[in-house]
Structure 1
Amino acid sequence: MVPTTGQHMTDRNLAELGFEDLWKNEILRKYIDGELSREEAIELVGLENVQRADRETAVVEEDVDWGLDA
């Protein structure tokens, strides 16, 4: 079955969204690893995304600390 133009655009848009997510995740990884400053990360992916990464990192660190103390 050959996709219609509308279906093709949807697939293309989905692919673009996937690349945007990959790019955002790479920026946040670099921020968490100390390769980018907080300010640089905020400039690139926005404050909300950086704050989410901070919260998620804190939760993981708490879990690791809890596991090491158990």
Structure 2
Amino acid sequence: AEFVAGWDGRLTVAVVNAPGSVVVSGDLDALDELLAACEADGIRARRLPVNYAAHSGQVEAIREQLLTDL
């Protein structure tokens, strides 16, 4: 959470899988910046192949559509 705080809310911790394994979600440009920062700091990071972050507030953008579809 402290690491992504520098992105002023454009990124959030979506889920903590283990002490050294977290999923971050947010704005695509911010995620690119995060990946570059991780690489520069020697932190292993990779992008997950998903269309939206179901573990985050981003799912609110499609909430009504999901409710309609379900």
Give the TM-score normalised by structure 2. Answer: 0.29
**Structure with greater strand percent:** 2
Larger radius of gyration: 1
Give the TM-score normalised by structure 1. Answer: 0.29
**Structure with greater helix percent:** 1
